[in-house]
Structures are given as C-alpha cells and as structure tokens.
Amino acid sequence: MAIAFLEIGGGLQGVLVPIRAQLEGFSTQAIGLLGAAYYLGFVLGCLYVPALMHRVGHIRAFSGLAALAATVFLVHELTQAVPVWLGLRLIAGVCFAGLYMAVESWLNGRATTATRGRVLAAYLVIGYLAIIAGKLVFAWTDPADFLPFALVSIGVCLAVLPVAFTTGTAPDLVARSRLRVRELYETSPVGLVGCLAVGAANGAFWSMGPIYADLRGLSTMGIGLFISAAVLGGAVAQWPVGKWSDQTDRRKVLVAACVASAVASTALVLSPGAETPTILALAFLFGAGSLPLYGLCIAHANDHAPEESFVEVSSNLLLMFGLGAVAGPYLAALLMTAAGPGGIFLFIAGAHLLLAGFAILRIGRRRPVDESEKTAFVAAPKTTQAVLPLDPRAEPGAEDEPPSETG
C-alpha cells in the first residue's frame, strides 16, 4: 500500500515538475538541471540515508522523510526561483530514495527465501501500475493550478499510514553502499558502461520527455498518455526480452534492444507532423526497447560475478545508473536547445548506439558465458539497494545478513 501511494505521487511529480517549470518560464537548460538535481539527490540518498535509519529506525525515518517530501512539493507553489527549485528537487531525490529504501527493506525483512521472488514480482507490478496511474492523474489536472502539487503531497502523506500503523516488527538495518568502479569494470565492462549509458538515457527521458511531448503540441492528456505508453511498453517487453537473453549471449540481446530504441527514437525525431496515436505508438516501441536495458546489464554483469557478490555488484551498478541519470537530463536539454524538441531523442539514440557499439566490441574480446552458468533474467527495479536481496539471484540468506560498512 505504501509503495502504491508513493509511486502514484512519484509518477505525478515526475511529469508535473518539468511541465510546470516550463509554464513558469524556466529555460530548457534549467529544466534539465532540475532533472539532474533530483537524480543527484537520489544517489546521495542511497549513499547516506542508511545512516539515518541506523540512528532513528525505519518508521521514524520514513515518517520524517515523507513529511519533508510533502512539504517540498507544496513549497514549489510559493516561489518560481530556479535556485530554490533546484534545491527542492535535490531534497525530493534524497527523500524518495529513503522512502523507497524503507519500504523495500521492510518487504525484504518479511520475505523468505521461498517467497522473495513472488514478493519482488508483486512489487514490480504494483509499481508499474501506480506509476502509470500517476501519469494519468496528471492528464486530468491543470499543471498551472495548485491541485497537482497538492495531490503529490497527499499521495506521499498517505504512504505513511500503512507504515506508521503497522504492528509488525521493524526490518533489519539497510546495508550501506560503497562504489567500487575498478572492480566493477573488471567484472563486467558492458555492465558498467551499460548502466551509465542507460542511466543517462532514462534520466533524460523521465526529466525531459514531458517537455518534448508538450513542445510537440500534445495536450495535458496527451503528455500523460505519452509517458504512460513508454512505461507500458517497457513493462510488456521485460519478460520476453529477458527470456530471450537467457537463451543466448545477453550482449547480442542488449545490442538488439539498443538498436530498437534508437530506431524508435529516430522516428520520434523525424515525425514532427505525426498525429497523437502515431506518437503514442512510437513511445510504446521506445519503452519496449529502452526500459529492459537496465535489467539486461544487471543480468550480464552477474553472469560474470561470483554468486555471493550479487547484492554488492547490483548495488554498484545501481549507483552507476544514478550517476548517468544525473548527467543525462542536462546533456539532453543542451541538445534540445540546439536542435529543438527532437534533441532529447537524438541524445537517447546516440547513447544507445554508443552502448551497442561498445557491446559489439566486447563480444569480439570475451566469450559469452555458458548457458548452464547463467543466472536467470529478472526484471530489476531501479530504486535502491534495499530491494536487491529480494531478487531470487541473490545468495540465499543474504536478506538476513547484518549490514556491513562497505555494503
């Protein structure tokens, strides 16, 4: 229940903030910086919120961060100063990282080795549905009004109730992450570079995609449907793409998905006069190609990593994704300023084609993992390290281990 309310609020704020910033006269580059600030805050939250939870516990941390996040969204209505909004987005990123972390560690603490796969699947389904619901809520509101920010605040506040009123025991403390870039590259060059590139592309889409849709002349309803179509495409494609990657060299599947995303992105650039149904169909195809890429990178990296290091490797890849997402929105905004609305998809197509080229290069230098040695593909949520022990690929019992200083 908590994650459903959080994702509805998060889905709404993700499309609301850039559109409202544009209505307030922010430049495209400033809007890109807003996206970068949010993802920077999210990375910082993944790194430092565990210390807060160690000190005050999950319920207090969750309640305090929810109160702060709800306040942040209401403050947007009080000022239109770009520096203030940048600070608000940074704080929102920290808060959402902590909120996800608390919920995920709670699920992790209650799940058993036998049930964690089903728990993760339910978590993903609820998350996808709630994100789409948040985008559709935007479609029925006026971004110039106070109401959308109030609805985001209400969603975050309602998420507190299931956590604050629980009679269950608090979960174990969250492990802290520590970035190990050199070791990660030695384990899986494609996994590391892939998560950086995918983070940059995804960060650009979530932050600047609504601006692209708005500049293309889509209505408020059309903007909400545009982002929802991409999310739906990614949700639908996760399982077949993952199943395919289990049966062949994952790098080849990653190349195919990158090319598919680049083709859809190029079509979105080259179809300025397309009708809304065509744009929505292309958004669906874009999501189907781009959104499974993170899960492919995680699976490929862990094919080469020791089984007992799954959580640490995946946690590091998540941080690399976050660092890419910090850079992506601003770089895409620069290209949109120079090339028009389609600049965002030129950036995304370029990022995915560069990743495809790097993967092809690595295919010639490293043999694929034998199919019998592979870990099965699992759709990996791009949230926090607290969700990773729920993954069936994690070492049995990993969720019961005490957190270490190195994560």
CA nearest neighbour of 86 among 100, 97, 76? 76
d(CA 298, CA 388): 11
Same domain, yes or no: 250 and 374: yes
Domain count, the chain: 2
Query: From the CA atom positions of the chain, what is the Rg in Å?
Result: 20
Judgement on whether residues 113 and 8 belong to the same structural domain of the protein: yes
Q: Phi and psi of 176, rounded to 5°?
A: -90, 145
Question: Residues with Cβ < 8 Å from 270, sequence gap 6 or more?
Answer: 342
Give the range among 317-326, 349-358, 360-369 with minimum mean pLDDT.
360-369
Token readout for 224 is: 């909400």
Domain end residue (candidates: 128, 145, 173): 173
Q: Cα angle vertex 38, ends 33, 41, to 5°?
A: 120
Shared domain check, 205 and 143:
no
Measured between alpha carbons, how far is residue 383 from residues 29, 183, 273 in Å? 26, 22, 36
Number of residues that this document lists for the chain: 407
Domain extent for 214: 177-383
The pTM of this model reads: 0.92
Residue 404 located in a structural domain? no
Q: Tell whether 157 and 184 lie within a shared domain.
A: no
What pLDDT does 407 receive?
34
Q: Is residue 128 assigned to a domain? A: yes
pLDDT confidence tier of residue 172, bands split at 50, 70 and 90:
low
122 shares its domain with 189: no
Q: Which of 46-60, 171-185, 254-268 has the lowest mean pLDDT?
A: 171-185
Instruction: Please indicate, yes or no, if residue 111 is contained in any of the structural domains.
Output: yes
Establish if 102 belongs to a structural domain: yes
- Distance (Å, rounded) from C-alpha 4 to C-alpha 342? 32
**190 shares a domain with 50:** no
Q: Please report whether residue 403 resides in a domain.
A: no
Q: Is residue 132 located within the same domain as residue 22?
A: yes
* CATH at residue 8: 1.20.1250.20
Mean pLDDT of 331-359: 97
Domain for residue 348, yes or no?
Answer: yes
Contact of 59 with 98, CB cutoff 8 Å? no
- Are 14 and 80 in a shared domain? yes
Per-residue pLDDT band for 109 (boundaries 50, 70, 90) equals: confident
Do both 165 and 186 map to the same domain?
A: no
Question: What's the DSSP call for residue 216?
Answer: T
Mean pLDDT of 281-305: 93
Last residue of a domain, one of 143, 173, 203: 173
Name the burial class of residue 406, with classes exposed (0-12), middle (13-18) and buried (19+) by CB atoms within 10 angstroms of its CB.
Answer: exposed
Residues 200-226 have pLDDT tens digits of: 999 999 999 999 999 999 999 999 999
Do 369 and 289 lie in one domain? The reply is: yes
Q: How far apart are the first and last CA of the chain?
A: 28
φ and ψ at residue 78, rounded to 5 degrees: -90, -20
pLDDT digits (tens, 9 = 90+) for 50-81: 899 888 888 899 999 999 999 999 999 999 99
Collapse the DSSP code of 219 into the 3-class scheme (helix H, G, I; strand E, B; otherwise coil) and give the result.
Answer: coil
pLDDT mean across residues, the chain = 90
Token pair for 94: 């920290």
Residue 229 in any domain: the answer is yes
227 and 373 belong to one structural domain: yes
320 and 278 within one domain: yes
Which strand (E) or helix (H) includes residue 170?
none
From 148, 173, 198, the end of a domain falls on 173
Burial of residue 83, with CB atoms counted within 10 A of its CB: 0-12 exposed, 13-18 middle, 19 or more buried = exposed
Q: Report the candidate in 136, 138, 162 with the shortest Cα–Cα distance to residue 148.
A: 138
Whether 287 maps to a domain, the answer reads yes
